[in-house]
């Protein structure tokens, strides 16, 4: 997911997206542990998406508070 797409979403949508991505990350980690995950890169991408969503969510919260 691109940062530009994420920045266009509202805070509520970002929170929902963060929950979904966190759940997806958990499932990927379980598959990785049990040896069912063929592509390890998915775990890294999911973790990066979570960090990106949290960063943009924090930016939105800070800018909304100062305006």
Average pLDDT of the segment spanning 1-22: 93
Could you state, in order of their start, the residue ranges of all structural domains in the chain?
8-66
Check: CB of residue 14 under 8 Å from CB of residue 53.
yes
Joined tokens for residue 28: 């990927």
Check: CB of residue 56 under 8 Å from CB of residue 7.
yes
Residue range 8-66 in CATH 1.10.287: yes
Predicted confidence band at 2 (pLDDT cuts at 50, 70, 90)? confident
Residue 59 confidence (pLDDT): 94
To the nearest 10°, the Cα dihedral for 31, 34, 40, 42?
10
pTM of the entire structure? 0.87
Check: CB of residue 46 under 8 Å from CB of residue 17.
no
Residue 66 confidence (pLDDT): 59
């Amino acid at each position: 997911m691109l940062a530009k797409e994420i920045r266009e979403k509202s805070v509520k949508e970002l929170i929902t997206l963060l929950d979904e991505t966190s759940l997806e990350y958990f499932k990927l980690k379980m598959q990785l542990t049990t040896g069912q995950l063929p592509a390890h890169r998915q775990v890294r991408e999911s973790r990066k998406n979570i960090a990106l969503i949290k960063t943009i969510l924090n930016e939105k919260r800070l800018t909304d508070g100062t305006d």
